[in-house]
Amino acid sequence: DRLSSLRLPSKYWSCVRCPNLEGAVFATSTFSPATADLVTEKMVVVQWADSEKQEAVVCETILRGRRLGDAVVGDLGSVHQMLCAVDAMQLCIGVGGVGYVLEQLGGRLTAHLERSLILHGETYFSQACTATVETVGTSCAPCKQARKAVLTKKSALLRKNFLVTYVDNCGDAK
Type of residue at 135:
T
More confident: 99 or 56: 99
H, E, C per residue of 103-125: HHCCCCCCHHHHHHEEEECCEEE
Closest-CA residue to 24 (of 7, 53, 40, 1)? 1
More confident: 56 or 168: 56
pLDDT band at 50 (very low <50, low <70, confident <90, very high): low
Q: What is the pLDDT of residue 102?
A: 93
Closest-CA residue to 72 (of 51, 48, 105)? 48
Q: What is the pLDDT of residue 46?
A: 92
Type of residue at 82:
M
Residue 58 bridge partners (DSSP): 47, 72
**pLDDT tens, 95-148?**
999 999 999 988 889 899 999 999 998 999 999 999 999 999 999 999 999 999
The span from the CA of 49 to the CA of 54, in Å, is 7
Mean pLDDT of all residues belonging to the chain: 87
Q: Which helix (H) or strand (E) holds 78?
A: helix 76-88
Look up the pTM and report it: 0.79
Cα-based distances in Å from 64 to 29, 49, 107, 114, 130: 9, 25, 25, 19, 10
Q: Is the pLDDT of residue 61 over 90?
A: yes
Q: What proportions of the chain, in percent to the nearest 5, are helix, strand and coil? A: 25, 30, 45
More confident: 22 or 8: 8
Taking the chain, what is the end-to-end CA distance rounded to the nearest angstrom?
48
* Residue 89 contacts residue 42 (beta carbons within 8 Å): yes
Cα-based distances in Å from 122 to 31, 106, 117: 10, 18, 12
